[in-house]
Amino acid sequence: MQVPSLSISRRTRFTPFSRRVQAAGVKAYTIYNHMLLPTVFNSVEEDYRHLKTKVQVWDVACERQVELWGPDATRLAQMLTPRDLSAMTEGQCYYTPMVDETGGMLNDPVTTKLAEDKFWVSVADSDLLFWIKGLAHALRLEVDVDEPDVSPLAIQGPKAEELVARVFGDDIRSIRFFRYRHVSYQGRKLVLARSGYSKQDGFELYVDGSDLGEPIWDALMAAGEDLDVRAGCPNLIERIEGQLLSYGNDMTRNNTPHECGLGRFCQTQAAIGCIGRDALLRVAVEGPVRQIRSIAIDGDPVPPCDELWPVIGGGKQVGTVSSAAWSPDFRTNVAIGMVRMTHWDDGTRVQVDTPHGMRSATVWETPFTVQGG
Ligand code: THG
């Protein structure tokens, strides 16, 4: 059967880096926030090996910024998340589960505090802008909510620090994880954070103004020639190994942050004003009955996971697998799934009903990266 292709139109948003990505030989895209996101350059496995040993430049412009700017920006930001923002200062980025009035996940963005009255909410794939605009309008808040012309460019991999230092100066080496500093490029001030959707080291540069996209891309590529810098993208295998969650795949509005294993990013009691606070405090009393787990699926490489695969234990369904890929480093299929509490303990043996048949599998609490393989 021939694989169908995507029809492209004006609704399919290109990015400030799209021409460079195309020239670099991108092989596949997905659509994320109505925008192109590269998924493969050479092959997922070759891209993975390169990411883990060298340095890549990623067009992650699809991580759109929802800007909150005005006297009520802090109040609005705290309404969105059970993470306590009261101690957040300029210069910090927080991973912030965002929930509705039932405690259901609406998004899992990185929130950056730019000033006392200004935040960027760097959203995953859901139209969070409309939820936030609706709240700001209905509550008559004194805050502008909009999507600025800002496009993140990620530099990821063990050589990322060296490459970024060459272009923006040695000072960047002391930026700590989930902190940012301003760097200057052609006289323009840009936010550079130590963060990114990989467990390798790396940075995210918030390219403020589409006109800077190609010049900055070219500067990074030129400066990193001897480091074997390449165009790359979030890597399916690497992010499953590291248990980095994908909104819409691994969790939806039907899950609480606690089910997603994001309880460590919630201080619900302290998050006064959070819209989902009452609901989350109520469910926190009993705790979740299912939770995100890493799962090792035995046997040959499994096909792409484009639908939920049942997890079976004791002859009954006890969960679902939502993401899976063959891991060359762990020499097994790595997966992310949601597993009921009867089967969520470390080392529990289960079965997974894959399109290639029933497979034995093992449930793990921690990411593969910390299991010492
Ligand atoms: N960077 C930025 N925006 C984003 C993403 C990003 N928006 C969309 C999407 N990714 C949001 N999802 C995530 C998921 C995981 C992380 C960041 C964004 C992440 N998690 C670290 C971890 O799980 O190891 C922990 C973060 C922490 O300790 O605070 O980095 O990647 N700009």
Please provide the CATH number assigned to the domain covering 292-373. 2.40.30.110
**Residue 7, φ and ψ in degrees, nearest 5:** -80, 130
Closest Cα partner for 336 from 265, 245, 255, 248?
A: 245
Closest Cα partner for 311 from 325, 324, 330, 301?
A: 324
Ligand 1 atom nearest the C-alpha of 246 is: 12
> Distance, CA 94 to ligand 1 centroid (Å)?
9
pLDDT at 109: 98
Ligand 1 atom nearest the C-alpha of 95 is: 29
Helix (H) or strand (E) holding 112: strand 110-115
Residue 356 DSSP class:
T
Give start and end residues of each alpha helix (H) in the chain: 18-23, 44-53, 73-80, 128-138, 160-168, 213-223, 236-241, 277-286
pLDDT band at residue 369, thresholds of 50, 70 and 90?
A: confident
CATH class name, domain 18-63+149-239: alpha beta
Q: Is the CB of 108 under 6 A from ligand 1?
A: yes
- Domain extent listing, the chain: 18-63+149-239, 65-146, 292-373
Q: Is the CB of 110 under 6 A from ligand 1?
A: yes
> Distance, CA 180 to ligand 1 centroid (Å)?
14
Q: What SS3 state is found at 86?
A: coil
The residue assigned the tokens 């990623």 is 58
Q: Is the CB of 203 under 6 A from ligand 1?
A: no
Q: State mean pLDDT over 326-347.
A: 98
Name the percent of the chain in helix, strand, coil, to the closest 5.
25, 35, 40
Q: Is the CB of 109 under 6 A from ligand 1?
A: yes
Q: Is the CB of 367 under 6 A from ligand 1?
A: no
The whole-angstrom separation of Cα 101 and Cα 120 is 22
Q: State mean pLDDT over 185-196.
A: 98
> Distance, CA 123 to ligand 1 centroid (Å)?
10
231: Cβ–Cβ under 8 A, 6 or more apart, which residues? 20, 21, 24, 25, 26, 38, 41, 56, 57, 58, 59
CA-derived radius of gyration, the chain: 21
Beta-bridge partner residues of 310: 320
The whole-angstrom separation of Cα 316 and Cα 288 is 19
Q: State mean pLDDT over 323-328.
A: 98
Q: Is the CB of 88 under 6 A from ligand 1?
A: no
Q: State mean pLDDT over 336-359.
A: 98
Per-residue pLDDT reduced to its tens digit, 112-150: 999 999 999 999 999 999 999 999 999 999 999 999 999
Per-residue pLDDT reduced to its tens digit, 23-78: 999 999 999 999 999 999 999 999 999 999 999 999 999 999 999 999 999 999 99
pLDDT band at residue 2, thresholds of 50, 70 and 90?
A: confident
> Distance, CA 108 to ligand 1 centroid (Å)?
8
> Distance, CA 304 to ligand 1 centroid (Å)?
23
Q: Residue with the nearest Cα to atom 26 of ligand 1?
A: 95
326: Cβ–Cβ under 8 A, 6 or more apart, which residues? 45, 237, 301, 302, 332, 333, 334
Beta-bridge partner residues of 2: none
pLDDT higher than threshold 90 for residue 4: no
Q: Which of 80, 110, 177 to mutate to test the pocket of ligand 1 (most atoms within 8 A of CB)?
A: 110
| Burial readout 33-46 (b: 16 or more C-beta within 10 A, e: otherwise) | bebbbbbbbeebbe
The residue assigned the tokens 């302290």 is 270
Q: Is the CB of 204 under 6 A from ligand 1?
A: yes
Q: State mean pLDDT over 99-110.
A: 98
Q: Cα 209 from chain centroid?
A: 22
pLDDT higher than threshold 50 for residue 372: no
- Pick out the residues of the known binding site: 204
| Burial readout 264-296 (b: 16 or more C-beta within 10 A, e: otherwise) | ebbbbeebeebbbbebbeebbeeebebbbbbbb
> Distance, CA 99 to ligand 1 centroid (Å)?
16
Closest Cα partner for 45 from 229, 305, 324, 237?
A: 237
Ligand 1 atom nearest the C-alpha of 265 is: 29
- Pick out the residues of the known binding site for substrate: 204
Q: Is the CB of 155 under 6 A from ligand 1?
A: no
pLDDT at 371: 63
**Cβ neighbours, 10 Å, residue 119:** 26
According to the CATH classification, is domain 65-146 in 3.40.50.620?
Answer: no
Q: Is the CB of 197 under 6 A from ligand 1?
A: yes
